[in-house]
């Protein structure tokens, strides 16, 4: 989660069930966040145990897939509304209906100046017009507001008809599936989260975590099923194998702090034996940028967990106009910084672009000049909330006088396995040999001045342990086997409610009840009350 956090303390293997606040103690973000994580873990574990890997409630099962190719230049899929659970995570495909606007007194209906748009306006949270969607219109949408989402206008899909790789397979059959993951959202990406009463100089408050779902297509040839093995159970089994291969982490990393060779030159404010030499507590984020093998992969790192994000107001070539500068010198941009030009669509697609270097800073104009123009299609739509995300790695100095430019490729650091790589101030990371890296996978390394070290699990000999990435955790579920003119085979699962009618009494229970009624009548005939408390009723 790209948020301004001190650290993340939730560990499911410790089996904590609650966080207890103690009187007179300092309250930390990590404590409150751990309580939220505990409750979410429990709720999703219960849901997954009862439902299974995926399923929807009977009568409200969402994500019914239909093929819509009539009269359209490009094929489309309809996505039925309702709810569906994937590994206990609730996904809701219901499409919000547009609100009813009140006309102004002058009747022109154009004087509204309240709110931020977003949820309360005529757009969805990412700015997509609810009357069909930009991509949906080009794919054959209408001006009428549909009651369901489609493949082209799904809220977090950001599919582009102009990109051949985004189009649905032309060869049938193929499998439509659901991809689910979570990401953090701050006020830079959703301005509605900011409390304007606090003023422009006050930092934003809490961030949010959002469930992102995407309906995507997998060609049948990639699923690995034989022509005769297209039964629903066989398709689900084959898809599970495919999904498990992509869900399993393929790389591991370790971290440590080591006293630099020139530590004696540091100011006396630091402990002489401190291995971590930074002046402040930090939460380092090491994140894979380009994926692949070690020869192909790169990573980026931030000492602020990637939380230094500056909203963008405008783009003119390589000049970027910022909505605001950082709160102080630690949280703004300086010449030489590497930044990621991002927006909602870029983040949701998970396809990294080369990082850009800050070449010039115009403080009075709130502008920065980048080393190159951002890639087309990113940051040009204000409703997608473009921003610059700062990363803290730097270009290594030239070595050997031959113009070598260090270990950077595309603005990110090359992955080197089997050796300790220095970040800064004594913090080092180690990538296990033979890894397979996925964009977005990341590790968090808290560094503390009080101990002069980083917090990282170690074994009995105090050696750092290798750890799988802390995220991103992606979940998958099959939805439909699309066979073209032969129809669509539904692969979803559903479950009914646990509650049911009270079962009918057995013969033994009915006989016992009859005997009890006979005894009560006999007592009443003798003039005795039926029970010690039943003395006010009529007498026989």
Q: Who has greater pLDDT, 4 or 90?
A: 90
Are 245 and 261 within one domain? no
pLDDT at residue 184, as a whole number? 94
Which residues is 175 bridged to in the sheet?
218, 481
Once rounded to an integer, what is the mean pLDDT over residues 124-135? 42
Q: How many CB atoms lie within 10 A of CB 389?
A: 20
Domain presence at residue 113 = no
Return phi, psi of residue 489, to 5°: -95, 120
Domain presence at residue 158 = yes
Once rounded to an integer, what is the mean pLDDT over residues 301-326? 92
* 279: confidence class by pLDDT, cuts 50, 70, 90: confident
Domain presence at residue 40 = no
As given in the structure block, the two tokens for residue 73 are: 């230049």
> Could you tell me what percent of the chain has a pLDDT over 90?
65
Domain presence at residue 297 = yes
Domain presence at residue 503 = no
Question: Is residue 338 predicted with pLDDT exceeding 80?
Answer: yes
Q: What's the N-to-C CA distance of the chain in angstroms?
A: 77
Are 479 and 416 within one domain? no
**Structure confidence by residue, pLDDT tens digits, 448-493:** 998 999 999 999 999 999 999 999 999 999 999 999 888 999 999 9
**Structure confidence by residue, pLDDT tens digits, 37-90:** 999 999 999 999 999 999 999 999 999 999 998 767 889 999 999 999 999 999
Separation between Cα atoms, residue 154 and residue 383, nearest integer Å: 16
Are 70 and 218 within one domain? yes
pLDDT at residue 274, as a whole number? 67
Q: Who has greater pLDDT, 499 or 110?
A: 499
Are 314 and 424 within one domain? yes
Domain presence at residue 87 = yes
Are 364 and 263 within one domain? yes
Are 222 and 359 within one domain? no
Domain presence at residue 15 = no
Are 185 and 265 within one domain? no
Are 207 and 223 within one domain? yes
Domain presence at residue 431 = yes
Question: Is residue 431 predicted with pLDDT exceeding 70?
Answer: yes
pLDDT at residue 139, as a whole number? 43
Say if CB 286 and CB 429 are below 8 A apart: yes
Strand, coil or helix: 257: strand
Q: Who has greater pLDDT, 509 or 35?
A: 35
Question: Is residue 35 predicted with pLDDT exceeding 90?
Answer: yes
Are 266 and 237 within one domain? no
Question: Is residue 284 predicted with pLDDT exceeding 70?
Answer: yes
Look up the pTM and report it. Answer: 0.84
pLDDT at residue 379, as a whole number? 82
Are 234 and 286 within one domain? no
pLDDT at residue 377, as a whole number? 80
Question: Is residue 267 predicted with pLDDT exceeding 60?
Answer: no
Are 349 and 232 within one domain? no
Question: Is residue 138 predicted with pLDDT exceeding 90?
Answer: no
**Running DSSP on this structure, what letter comes out for residue 414?**
E
Place of tokens 């040839």: 221
Q: How many CB atoms lie within 10 A of CB 430?
A: 18
Are 168 and 315 within one domain? no
For the chain, what is the domain count? 2
Separation between Cα atoms, residue 119 and residue 117, nearest integer Å: 6
Rg (CA), the chain: 30
Say if CB 428 and CB 257 are below 8 A apart: yes
Separation between Cα atoms, residue 121 and residue 524, nearest integer Å: 71
Question: Is residue 343 predicted with pLDDT exceeding 90?
Answer: yes
Domain span holding position 278: 253-396+408-454
Q: Who has greater pLDDT, 165 or 267?
A: 165
Question: Is residue 294 predicted with pLDDT exceeding 90?
Answer: yes
């Amino acid at each position: 989660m790209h948020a301004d956090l001190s650290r993340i303390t939730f560990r499911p293997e410790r089996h904590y069930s609650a966080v207890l606040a103690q009187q007179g103690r300092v309250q930390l973000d990590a404590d409150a966040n751990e309580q939220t994580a505990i409750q979410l873990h429990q709720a999703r574990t219960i849901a997954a145990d009862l439902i299974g890997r995926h399923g929807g409630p009977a009568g409200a099962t969402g994500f019914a897939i239909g093929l819509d190719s009539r009269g359209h230049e490009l094929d489309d899929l309809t996505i039925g509304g309702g709810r569906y659970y994937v590994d206990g995570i609730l996904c809701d495909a219901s499409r919000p209906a547009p609100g009813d606007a009140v006309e102004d007194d002058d009747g022109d209906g154009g004087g509204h100046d309240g709110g931020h748009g977003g949820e309360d306006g005529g757009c969805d949270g990412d700015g997509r017009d609810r009357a069909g969607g930009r991509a949906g219109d080009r794919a054959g949408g209408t001006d009428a507001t549909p009651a369901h989402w489609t493949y082209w206008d799904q809220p977090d899909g950001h599919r582009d008809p102009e990109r051949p790789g985004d189009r649905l397979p032309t060869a049938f059959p193929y499998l439509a599936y659901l991809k689910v993951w979570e990401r953090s959202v701050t006020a830079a990406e959703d301005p509605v989260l900011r409390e304007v009463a606090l003023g422009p100089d006050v930092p934003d408050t809490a961030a949010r975590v959002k469930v992102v779902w995407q309906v995507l297509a997998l060609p049948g040839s990639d699923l690995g099923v034989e022509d005769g093995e297209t039964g629903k159970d066989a398709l689900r089994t084959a898809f599970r194998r495919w999904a498990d291969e992509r869900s399993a982490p393929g790389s591991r990393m370790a971290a440590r702090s080591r006293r630099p060779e020139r530590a004696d030159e540091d100011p006396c404010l630091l402990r002489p034996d401190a291995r971590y030499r930074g002046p402040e507590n930090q939460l380092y984020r090491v994140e894979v940028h380009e994926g692949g093998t070690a020869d192909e992969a790169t990573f980026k790192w931030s000492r602020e967990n990637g939380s230094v994000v500056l909203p963008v107001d405008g783009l003119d070539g390589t000049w970027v106009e910022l909505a605001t500068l950082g709160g102080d010198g630690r949280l703004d941009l300086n010449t030489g910084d590497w930044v990621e030009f991002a927006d909602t669509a870029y983040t949701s697609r998970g396809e990294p672009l080369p990082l850009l270097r800050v070449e010039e800073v115009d403080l009075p104009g709130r502008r920065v000049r980048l080393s190159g123009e951002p890639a087309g299609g990113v940051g040009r739509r204000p409703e997608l909330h473009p921003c610059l995300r700062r990363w803290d790695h730097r270009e290594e100095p030239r070595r050997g006088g031959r113009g070598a430019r260090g270990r950077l490729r595309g603005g990110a650091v090359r992955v080197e396995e089997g050796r300790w790589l220095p970040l800064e101030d004594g913090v080092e990371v180690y990538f296990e040999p033979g890894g397979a890296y996925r964009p977005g996978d990341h590790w968090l390394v808290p560094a503390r001045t009080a101990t002069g070290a980083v917090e990282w699990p170690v074994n009995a000999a105090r050696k750092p342990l290798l750890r799988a990435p802390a995220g991103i955790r992606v979940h998958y579920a099959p939805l439909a086997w699309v066979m073209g003119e032969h129809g669509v085979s539904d692969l979803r699962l559903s479950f009914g409610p646990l509650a049911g009618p009270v079962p009918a009494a057995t013969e033994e229970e009915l006989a016992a009840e009859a005997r009890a009624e006979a005894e009560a009548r006999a007592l009443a005939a003798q003039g005795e009350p039926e029970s010690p408390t039943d003395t006010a009723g009529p007498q026989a």
